């Protein structure tokens, strides 16, 4: 959820992007918005990791041997966090299908309990899973995660959750685009959610209000720069890409301590914000 981030897994751009020539050869295949600059991406990764460390979190770096492609930079998606340990997912994007097993092996070697999806037809990505409370989770159902994946998550969680809310995702820009549930909702605290209502099903939005959440509306101009993808560092501190000035000002006005990073090459190119770049391993 949003309690203080104590330990987090991050992949470094140098281990996922490998070289400029590797990026030139592969960025379109991975459907990046544009070709990242390798050296600048490495510098952004260094700064991003330093920011997390300076906050006080222990930062685990995914070893190069477990980085299977450009998208390995976005370590949030291959595994889900549950009360019963980590669950390796099954990626809806074909080029990412080796990532869950790779990250799962690393987590096991690091001493964590890791399970895998029981159904071969299940598709589930971490970016579609939003923990609203310890016993309440919302899961996006769309191109990347399917009904079988949601049911597999329900089976894995068992009695540790009281409700799993399936959220139908819109077609938006089609199957080649990255649209996760976390594309339009980010928990900021145990009561505050940053949302982009234009993409939200009306029934789901009303349910969030009925649950008692305070919905903070994303300024529309910041959606395309991944402004709705915000990482909670604790109940009052969050991390956002620096180009989202209107959202930064809005959150500061709401009393949040807003930290920023530059992600032109590690975030905007691959359409993955600070939650995508991180897999929280431990919160206080």
pLDDT by residue for the chain (284 residues), tens digit each?
Answer: 899 999 999 999 999 999 999 999 999 999 999 999 999 999 999 999 999 999 999 999 999 999 999 999 999 999 999 988 999 999 888 899 999 999 999 999 999 999 998 788 899 999 999 999 999 999 999 988 999 999 999 988 988 999 999 999 989 877 777 789 999 999 999 999 999 999 999 999 999 999 999 999 999 999 999 999 999 999 999 999 999 999 999 999 999 999 999 999 999 999 999 999 999 999 99
Look up the pTM and report it.
0.95
Q: The sheet that has 58-61: what strands, in order across it?
A: 58-61, 5-10, 279-283
Q: Which DSSP state fits 266?
A: I
Q: What is the pLDDT of residue 172?
A: 83
- H-state helical runs in 226-272: 245-253
Asked: is 5-283 a CATH 2.40.30.110 domain? The reply is no
Integer Cα distance of 194 and 207 in angstroms: 15
142 phi and psi angles, rounded to 5 deg: -160, -135
Q: What is the pLDDT of residue 265?
A: 98
By the 10 Å C-beta count (0-12 exposed, 13-18 middle, 19+ buried), 133 is classed as middle
Integer Cα distance of 148 and 165 in angstroms: 14
Q: Is 164 helix (H, G, I), strand (E, B) or coil?
A: strand
Integer Cα distance of 160 and 135 in angstroms: 6
Our CA angle for 198, 276, 142, nearest 5°, is 50
Number of H helices, E strands in the chain: 7, 15
- H-state helical runs in the chain: 13-17, 20-26, 38-55, 99-109, 147-157, 202-210, 245-253
């Amino acid at each position: 959820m949003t309690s203080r981030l104590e330990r987090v897994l991050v992949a470094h751009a140098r281990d996922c992007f490998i070289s400029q020539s590797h990026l030139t050869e592969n960025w379109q295949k991975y459907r990046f918005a544009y070709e990242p600059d390798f050296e600048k991406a490495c510098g952004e990764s260094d700064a991003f990791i330093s920011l997390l460390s300076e906050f006080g979190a222990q930062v685990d770096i995914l070893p190069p041997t477990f980085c299977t492609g450009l998208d390995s930079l976005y370590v949030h998606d291959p595994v889900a966090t549950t009360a019963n340990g980590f669950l390796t997912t099954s990626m809806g994007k074909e080029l990412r299908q080796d990532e869950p097993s790779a990250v799962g092996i690393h987590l096991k070697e690091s001493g964590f309990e890791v399970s895998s999806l029981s159904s071969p037809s299940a598709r589930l990505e971490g970016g579609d899973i939003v923990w609203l409370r310890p016993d309440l989770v919302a899961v996006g159902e769309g191109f990347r995660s399917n009904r079988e994946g949601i049911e597999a998550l329900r089976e894995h969680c068992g009695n540790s959750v009281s409700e799993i809310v399936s959220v139908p995702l819109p077609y938006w820009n089609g199957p080649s685009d990255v649209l996760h549930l976390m594309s339009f909702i980010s928990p900021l605290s145990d009561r505050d959610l940053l949302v982009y209502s234009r993409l939200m099903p009306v029934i789901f939005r009303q349910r969030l209000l009925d649950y008692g959440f305070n919905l903070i509306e994303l300024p529309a101009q910041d959606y395309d720069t991944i402004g709705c993808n915000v990482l909670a560092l604790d109940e009052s501190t969050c991390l956002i890409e620096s180009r989202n000035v209107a959202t930064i000002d809005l959150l500061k006005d709401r009393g949040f301590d807003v930290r920023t990073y530059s992600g032109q090459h590690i975030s905007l190119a691959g359409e993955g914000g600070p939650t995508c770049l991180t897999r929280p391993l431990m919160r206080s």
